[in-house]
Amino acid sequence: MQVSDPRAKHWLADDANFLATLGDLDRGLGGLDPGLESPPLPPRSAPVSSETAASRTSARVIDAARALSAAAPLPSSAAPVESRPRPLLDLFPEWALLPESAGPPASPAPSESAAAAAADDAPRRPRPPMASLSPEPAVLPQLQALTGETFYGLPEKPFSLSTDPRFEYASASHARAREELLAAIHARGGPIVLTAPFGMGKTTLCRALVQGIDRRIVTSLVLEPVQSFDELLKTMLVDFGVMAREDLAGAPHLTRALLASTLNTFLESLGPLKAAAVVLIDEAQNVPVDLLADLGAALAPGTPGAGVLRLVLVGQPSLTKRLKHPDLRGLNASIGQRLTLGPLSADEVSGYVSHRLSVAGGQGRLAFDDTACGVLFQLSAGVPRTVNLLCDRAMTLGQQASTDLIDGALIEAAASDLDLQPAAEGPGPLGRVLIAAVFALLVLVGAAGALWASRDAVERTIRQWEQVPLPPGGPARQLSVPLAPIPPPELIPDNLPRRPAI
């Protein structure tokens, strides 16, 4: 039962005048004669009893719009495209006039007439919610944060803390250490020890040495700390290519004797080939003493590895103290070469920075001026790791300032962010003079204080010196009497005898 409220607003589709003017509106869009009478409306079909009042009203509007669109004459082909009338169903799609419980068709009809014919027979489908009719927002790609490398057009980080051998810079210290290492390895002497403070580039040097070594020398670079001799033997066998890592993983209960026998057999096979093997142990100051003792025993004269296997111990200066342990006397005595790795000099900092930028793919978009390189040396004391930290931070500050030139001010700002203080420098000439003057003053003050403290003893000593009698005088010295001069011959009187001529 439907209740009619006289005060409620009626649908426009129930207004006969509104339906009559729809045809005039459609013909007006096409530029037709407004005097033409609108075609008669076709009889409406009886509403289905299951439809609601809103569905019956929407069906009336659709029927009227379909009739007006079919009765409206089309303009000639000569008329411009803009003046052609648009069918009413194009302006108001059928599914848009349905109640909210109906929705658009699953697929568009091939033509308007076919769509109109199919609309009568097709069942009404529920309309999707209004939120689903709106276009879905486009998913924007997530933008990555702009880094200093992207800003300066670099494919990779030029000042990373990695030990990539491509970034090795042949400074005077690095080049000398590399040449001496290679010479000691080829000389087939005792173990080699390379020491340097933290951050000098020892690991990078070892990686570059392994890549550039003679092909007749197999290498094993131990970067991770090992805690047992068995673990070291397994690492060496894998690096030398004697055994695969999968084979060792499948046989975890291999004894040390079997591992050592396998290694000795391999080393003996290198002798006829005039080849050799080298094992480089990084951070050797952290290696246990018993492991180093086992290494020394494996390299003792008479063992298979004595003439073929080379041992290179790389570590910090504390490695020298570790080798002085009583259990390592034999290993320490057999060391054939001791090398050190020094920092960059003041005139090598600029070349170091340029080399790393070039390896990273720099094309001149980023530059460090002379002032920046000078400040870098003062703050880092030539340590490559500290130079990398300062340069990387300075690149970030340069990106924020939108500049392609890194100057001394940016390096100092980077040092402030990293809380790095300038390295201590030796005193200059004026400083040495001042130090000498202060030292002399302190000596004088100390002497005066000691004299004042022992003034009584000093006074007695002076009084005793005054009472000491003078020594007796010696015989009076006789003065020589000068002889009378001899007159010349012409002044001698005639009565005096003359000396005969010789």
Strand partners of residue 339: 194
Residue 399 lies in a domain: yes
Question: Do 297 and 173 have their domain in common?
Answer: yes
Question: Do 107 and 170 have their domain in common?
Answer: no
Tens digits of residue pLDDT in 375-431 = 999 999 999 999 999 999 999 999 999 999 999 999 999 999 999 876 555 555 666
Of 127, 63, 133, residue with least CA distance to 99: 127
Give the residue numbers spanning the domain of 408: 346-418
Contact 386, 394 (CB under 8 A): no
CA distances from 127 to 96, 124, 383 (A): 9, 9, 73
Which secondary-structure segment (H or E) carries 351?
helix 349-359
Residue 435 lies in a domain: no
Question: Do 60 and 88 have their domain in common?
Answer: yes
| Alpha carbons 61 and 92: distance in angstroms, whole number | 10
Residue 465 lies in a domain: no
Please state whether 220 falls in left (phi above 0), alpha (psi between -120 and 50) or beta. Answer: beta
Residues 56-85 have a mean pLDDT of: 50
Residue 441 lies in a domain: no
Count how many domains the chain has: 3
Q: Sorting pLDDT into bands at 50, 70 and 90, what band is 487?
A: low
Residue 364 is given by DSSP the state: S
Q: Sorting pLDDT into bands at 50, 70 and 90, what band is 495?
A: low
Of 180, 165, 266, residue with least CA distance to 221: 165
Alpha helices in 215-334 (DSSP H): 229-239, 245-250, 256-270, 289-298, 318-322, 329-333
Domain boundary among 370, 393, 418: 418
Contact 159, 391 (CB under 8 A): yes
Question: Do 196 and 325 have their domain in common?
Answer: yes
Question: Do 414 and 306 have their domain in common?
Answer: no
Task: With 0.75 as the threshold, say if the pTM is over it.
Answer: no
Question: Do 196 and 330 have their domain in common?
Answer: yes
Q: Sorting pLDDT into bands at 50, 70 and 90, what band is 283?
A: very high
Residue 445 lies in a domain: no
Tens digits of residue pLDDT in 311-356 = 999 999 999 999 999 999 999 999 999 999 999 999 999 999 999 9
Question: Do 333 and 353 have their domain in common?
Answer: no
Residues 212-232 have a mean pLDDT of: 90
Question: Do 188 and 309 have their domain in common?
Answer: yes
Residue 429 lies in a domain: no
Question: Do 318 and 358 have their domain in common?
Answer: no
Domain boundary among 383, 418, 453: 418
- The full DSSP string for 111-164 is SHHHHHHHHHHSPP-PPPPHHHHSPPPP-PPPPPPPPHHHHTT-SS-TT-S---
Question: Do 98 and 226 have their domain in common?
Answer: no
Question: Do 237 and 360 have their domain in common?
Answer: no
Contact 189, 311 (CB under 8 A): no
Calculate the average pLDDT of the chain. 76
Question: Do 20 and 107 have their domain in common?
Answer: yes
Contact 64, 13 (CB under 8 A): yes
Of 263, 245, 171, residue with least CA distance to 208: 171
Domain boundary among 308, 324, 340: 340
